[in-house]
Amino acid sequence: YQLPQQQQQQQGDQVQDGQEDGEQGENGSGEDDLGDEEGEEGQKREVSSHTLHQSRQDADLELMEAMRPHIVSGEPNTERKSTFQAHLAPVRSTDEVFAVVAILMENNKVRNATHNIMAYRIYMPEKSTFNQDCDDDGEACAGGRLLHMMQAADARDVVVVVTRWFGGVLLGPQRFALINNTARMLLEAQGYISKSSGTSAAKQAKSKGPQSKLGPKK
């Protein structure tokens, strides 16, 4: 496994700053791209773009060590030179979310990727509601779409991060489906959602740890 070439990374940075805007321009604004992928109450979500950075600052070292064995990474999926890889872990608090993201950011391949799209949902039974949020990490609307998929499938008590290494070819709206499908496959494999109905499955045990190396294949 290795990262894409440096030139591809530089191109990826351009995507974040401008080229992905071109993709949105082909299909309307980012809000139009979102379409019916709005929040559960029909309101457009405002993502917290600082979440990944905050995770690295706020994560407790002892908690990080406790969470480390429970992080699972799926197989990398390459489509038209862009590689996508999902990671997840069971969480019961935002502190655990920050710890999981901080652990992932320790890996150079993940940290230097073009985007790390994140979403989490934590059920709060005492309030009969969810603590949930998402982060685009520069991939406009991707975090909200990922969270919407998790809401529709009733995935709970889990954080998902989808890493994208941009390969130099613009994917247009297809990138959102690739991000969500990459996350969905890992959620299904780990028992957070049902393959048949799309609803949540009972999750009694912690995840067993990484099942795949991080980063694109050679």
- The domain segmentation of the chain, as residue ranges, is 6-189
pLDDT of 207 above 50: no
The better pLDDT of the pair 16, 154 is held by: 154
The pLDDT assigned to 124 comes to 97
The pLDDT assigned to 86 comes to 99
The better pLDDT of the pair 79, 201 is held by: 79
pLDDT of 81 above 90: yes
Mean pLDDT within 43-56: 48
pLDDT of 27 above 60: no
Read off the amino acid at residue 104: L
Which of 30-34, 64-68, 93-97, 164-168 is least confident? 30-34
Contact in structure between 134 and 152 (CB atoms under 8 Å): no
User: Which pTM was predicted?
Assistant: 0.68
Q: For the chain, give the mean pLDDT.
A: 77
The pLDDT assigned to 214 comes to 63
Mean pLDDT within 112-118: 98
The better pLDDT of the pair 211, 147 is held by: 147
In CATH, what number does 6-189 get?
3.30.230.30
Mean pLDDT within 28-42: 37
The better pLDDT of the pair 98, 3 is held by: 98
